[in-house]
Structure 1
Amino acid sequence: MKMAYDINGKIALVTGANRGIGRAIVDAFLHHGATKVYAAVRNLDSADPLIEQYGDMVEPVQLDLAKPETIVAMAVRTDDAQVIVNNAAVYKAATPLDSDAIDALELAMKINVFGLVRMAQAFAPVLRENGGGAFVQLNSIASLKCSSNFATHSASKAATYSITQALRELLGQQGTAVLSVHPGLIATDMASDAGLAGAAEPPSLVAEGIVAALKSGDFHLFPDTMAQRIGRAYESFSKSIIEVDIEEYKTDRH
C-alpha cells in the first residue's frame, strides 16, 4: 500500500548532511518547505556552511555510526523529527579474492548495515509518536548489481536493501512511509573514490527525486540515468514480488 508524504512543513533529520547527496537533500528539503533539518555529522564544524546559509533552520547534531551510543543520544535530542534520511555510509571496496576482503566487508557491514538497523530501532518510536512520518534509506544500484571490483560494498548494500524491505512492512504498521533510494553514478566523493566520477550526475537529482517519490508514495527511487535503466528492468519483479505481501505466495495446503 502506498503512503504519500509531503515534506512541506515537516522537521527532518539527515545523516551525512555536510556534503554530497546529504547536503543536496538538506537543500531540497528546505527548498520544498521543511521547517527545520537536523544535520547529523561526525564533526559538528562541518555543518557550518549549512548554518551560514540557512541559520537556525539547520541544527547540527553529532553522529558516528561506528558508535551506537551517538545514535541513541541523537534520537533523544531530535525527538520532534518527522522524517529520517539515513544517508551516511562508508565505502571500502574489495573483490572477494583480495587479501583485505574480510576487513572491508566487516567495516561495510558494521557501518552500513548495523548502522541502519540501529537508526531504525532508535527512530521507529520517535516517528510513531510524531504521527508516522517517513524513513528514507540510501541504498544503491550496487544493492541489485554487483561488480567484482566493489563486491564487499555491494554485499553491504544488498543487505541494507533487504533490511529496508523489512522496514517497509514493520514501519508501515505504524503509518511510517519507507523509501528505498538506489542512485547510480552521482558526483560525490564516494564516486571519486571508486573511480566513477567521469559520467556522474549531480546529487540534486537524488534529493529532488526523494521529495517527489515521498509525495507519490513510492517505495523505490532510481534517480539518475544509469539507475533508471536498472529500475525499468527491475520494475516488473518489484511490483509482483518485492512490493507484495509474502502471504500471497503461500500455497494452499488443501
Structure 2
Amino acid sequence: MELKSATAVVTGANRGLGRRLAEQLVQRGAKVYAAARRPESVDLEGVTPLRLDVTDEATIREAARVASDATLLINNAGISLGTRLITGDLTAVHAEMDTNFYGPLAVTRAFAPVIEANGGGAVLNVASVLSWWHPAELGSYAASKAAAWAMSDALREELAPRGITVSALHVGLMDTDMTAGMPTADKSDPADVAAQTLDGIEAGLPEILADDITRQIKQGLSQTPTLS
C-alpha cells in the first residue's frame, strides 16, 4: 500500500505509539484522522482529530461516517491493567478484552465497508509479544492480545477478497505511558516501532515483528511449554 496517497484512521492517536504513527503518516504524505476518546487531547499538526471510543458502538459508527474516505485503519488503542486470570478482578478482565479485542473488531467491522468502497486498502492491528508469551501476572492482557492475533489471521482471509490487506504488529516493551513504571533499558523507541510498522504496511507484510525479543518468542512457538 502506498501511504502517500492513503487516508488513515489511527485509534489511540493522542499519545504513545498511536501519536507516533499519526505523526509519521503525515510526514509520509497521508491524510490522517487522529482518533481518541477525547479528540481535544490530540495536539498534532496536520491531522484531523476524530472522536472514537473503541468500546462505544455509537462513536464507532459516527467515526466511520465522518471518515468516509478512509483507506487505512490502524487499531492501536489498548489498555493493560496487570490482571491475573484467576485472582484478578473479573471486571478488569472484561475491560481488557473489550478494549483489546472486541473494540478493534467492532472498529474493523465498521470501517471494512468504507475501505472497500474506496477501492480497498489495509488494516493494521497492534498486537504484542504477549500474543505468544503468556506470563501469569499479565494473563488477561496476554489473552486479549492472543485473541487479537487470531482475529488478525481470520480477518486477513476474510477481507482479502474485498481488496483489504491485514497486518499485525507484535512488539515488546515500548517507552510509552503504559510502561512508565518499568526500567527503560529494555524499552523500544516508539518512533522506531512506528517507522517499522509503516514500512511493513507499505510492503504488505502480514506480521511485523518490531524487536529482538518478539522475534525470539515467535521463533520458539513450536517448543513444548514448560513451567517457569
Q: The residue matched to 1:64 in structure 2 has which SS?
A: coil
Give the equivalent residue in structure 1 for 2:49: 60
SS in 2 for 1:8: helix
SS at match of 2:133: coil
Aligned to 2:24: 28
The residue number in structure 2 matching 1:85 is 74
Residues of 1 paired with 2:125 and 2:115: CA distance? Answer: 15
The residue number in structure 2 matching 1:42 is 37
Aligned to 2:127: 139
Query: What is the distance in 2 between the residues matched to 1:99 and 1:152?
Result: 9
Task: Decide which of 172, 181, 194 is 1:184's aligned counterpart.
Answer: 172
Matching residue within 205, 210, 220 for 1:223: 210
Corresponding position of 1:168:
156
Larger Rg: 1
Q: Equivalences for 1:173-212 in 2 at 5 Å?
A: 173-192=161-180, 195=182, 197-212=184-199
Matches within 5 A, 1:120-139: 120-139=108-127
Asked if structure 2 preserves the Cα contact closer than 8 Å seen for 1:42 and 1:63, the reply is yes
Determine if contact 2:132/2:218 at 8 Å carries over to the other structure: no
Shift of 1:233: 4.2
Q: CA deviation at 1:103?
A: 2.0
For 1:43 and 1:171, the matched residues in 2 are separated by 30
SS at match of 1:173: helix
RMSD: 1.7
Q: Is 2:15 aligned against 1:19? A: yes
Unaligned runs of 5+ in 1: 238-254
Post-superposition offset of 1:232:
4.3
Residue in 2 that maps onto 1:214: 201
Counterparts of 1:73-112 in structure 2, within 5 Å, are: 73-100=62-89, 102-112=90-100
Give yes or no for contact 2:84–2:139 (8 Å, CA) kept in 1: yes
> Number of residues paired by the alignment?
223
Match of 2:226 in 1: none
C-alpha deviation, 1:231, in angstroms: 3.9
* SS in structure 1 of the partner of residue 162 of structure 2: coil
Determine the C-alpha separation between the residues in 1 that align with 2:133 and 2:218: 11
- Give the direction of change, closer, same or farther, for the CA distance of 1:99–1:7 in structure 2 (3 Å limit): closer
